[in-house]
Amino acid sequence: MAILPPPLTLSMVPRYGPAFCTMKNGSSCTTHTDFIAVAADGTWDAGDPFDAWWGDDSWRTANEDLDLVPGKTAGYVAYVKKPKLV
Protein backbone atom coordinates (compact mmCIF):
# COMPACT_ATOMS: atom_id res chain seq x y z
CA MET A 1 0.00 0.00 0.00
CA ALA A 2 1.48 3.35 -1.03
CA ILE A 3 1.55 6.15 1.50
CA LEU A 4 0.10 9.23 -0.12
CA PRO A 5 1.62 12.62 0.58
CA PRO A 6 -0.40 15.24 2.41
CA PRO A 7 -2.15 17.92 0.33
CA LEU A 8 0.32 20.50 -1.00
CA THR A 9 -0.30 24.21 -1.11
CA LEU A 10 1.27 26.73 -3.44
CA SER A 11 2.14 29.83 -1.48
CA MET A 12 3.10 33.19 -2.86
CA VAL A 13 6.71 34.29 -2.53
CA PRO A 14 8.20 35.80 -0.38
CA ARG A 15 8.51 32.56 1.51
CA TYR A 16 5.26 31.36 2.99
CA GLY A 17 3.13 34.17 1.67
CA PRO A 18 -0.61 33.51 1.40
CA ALA A 19 -1.55 30.10 -0.03
CA PHE A 20 -3.46 30.41 -3.30
CA CYS A 21 -3.93 26.77 -4.27
CA THR A 22 -4.28 23.47 -2.40
CA MET A 23 -3.74 20.24 -4.30
CA LYS A 24 -4.55 16.70 -3.23
CA ASN A 25 -2.74 13.76 -4.83
CA GLY A 26 -3.51 13.77 -8.55
CA SER A 27 -5.00 17.26 -8.72
CA SER A 28 -3.50 20.30 -10.40
CA CYS A 29 -3.15 24.05 -10.18
CA THR A 30 -2.30 26.78 -12.68
CA THR A 31 -0.30 29.79 -11.59
CA HIS A 32 1.13 32.92 -13.14
CA THR A 33 3.07 34.03 -10.07
CA ASP A 34 6.19 32.87 -8.27
CA PHE A 35 5.42 30.22 -5.66
CA ILE A 36 6.84 27.83 -3.13
CA ALA A 37 5.27 24.41 -2.53
CA VAL A 38 4.53 23.47 1.08
CA ALA A 39 2.66 20.51 2.57
CA ALA A 40 -0.58 21.63 4.17
CA ASP A 41 0.45 19.81 7.36
CA GLY A 42 3.98 21.29 7.38
CA THR A 43 5.79 17.97 6.81
CA TRP A 44 7.18 18.84 3.37
CA ASP A 45 8.69 22.05 2.12
CA ALA A 46 10.22 23.12 -1.19
CA GLY A 47 13.70 24.43 -0.64
CA ASP A 48 13.47 26.97 -3.44
CA PRO A 49 10.87 29.35 -4.75
CA PHE A 50 9.94 28.38 -8.32
CA ASP A 51 11.88 31.28 -9.91
CA ALA A 52 15.11 30.22 -8.16
CA TRP A 53 14.58 26.59 -9.15
CA TRP A 54 13.91 27.62 -12.78
CA GLY A 55 17.12 29.65 -12.83
CA ASP A 56 16.36 32.76 -14.91
CA ASP A 57 13.61 35.24 -15.76
CA SER A 58 12.10 32.98 -18.42
CA TRP A 59 10.02 31.35 -15.63
CA ARG A 60 7.59 34.24 -16.12
CA THR A 61 6.55 32.86 -19.53
CA ALA A 62 7.14 29.16 -18.84
CA ASN A 63 4.41 26.73 -19.80
CA GLU A 64 5.30 23.57 -17.91
CA ASP A 65 3.58 20.68 -16.24
CA LEU A 66 5.35 19.72 -13.03
CA ASP A 67 5.05 16.83 -10.64
CA LEU A 68 5.64 17.82 -7.03
CA VAL A 69 7.19 14.79 -5.38
CA PRO A 70 9.18 13.88 -2.27
CA GLY A 71 12.77 14.98 -2.81
CA LYS A 72 15.91 13.00 -2.04
CA THR A 73 16.34 15.08 1.12
CA ALA A 74 13.76 14.25 3.80
CA GLY A 75 10.91 16.75 3.95
CA TYR A 76 11.83 18.40 0.64
CA VAL A 77 9.34 18.92 -2.21
CA ALA A 78 11.03 18.40 -5.58
CA TYR A 79 9.79 20.04 -8.78
CA VAL A 80 10.02 17.55 -11.66
CA LYS A 81 9.19 18.56 -15.25
CA LYS A 82 6.77 16.20 -16.97
CA PRO A 83 7.81 15.10 -20.45
CA LYS A 84 6.09 17.02 -23.25
CA LEU A 85 3.78 14.91 -25.38
CA VAL A 86 4.39 15.31 -29.08
Residue 86 carries which side chain, given as an amino acid letter? V
46 or 31: whose pLDDT is higher? 31
Which pLDDT does position 28 carry in this prediction?
85
pLDDT band with cut points at 50, 70 and 90 for residue 1: very low
Q: Is residue 17 part of a domain?
A: yes
Q: Is residue 3 part of a domain?
A: no
Does the CA dihedral 59-60-63-64 come out positive or negative?
Answer: positive
Q: Which residues span the domain enclosing 20?
A: 8-81
Compute the distance between CA of residue 12 and CA of residue 67 in angstroms, rounded to an integer. 18
Q: Is residue 86 part of a domain?
A: no
Question: Total structural domains in the chain?
Answer: 1
pLDDT in tens, 25-38: 778 888 888 888 88
pLDDT at 4 over 70: no
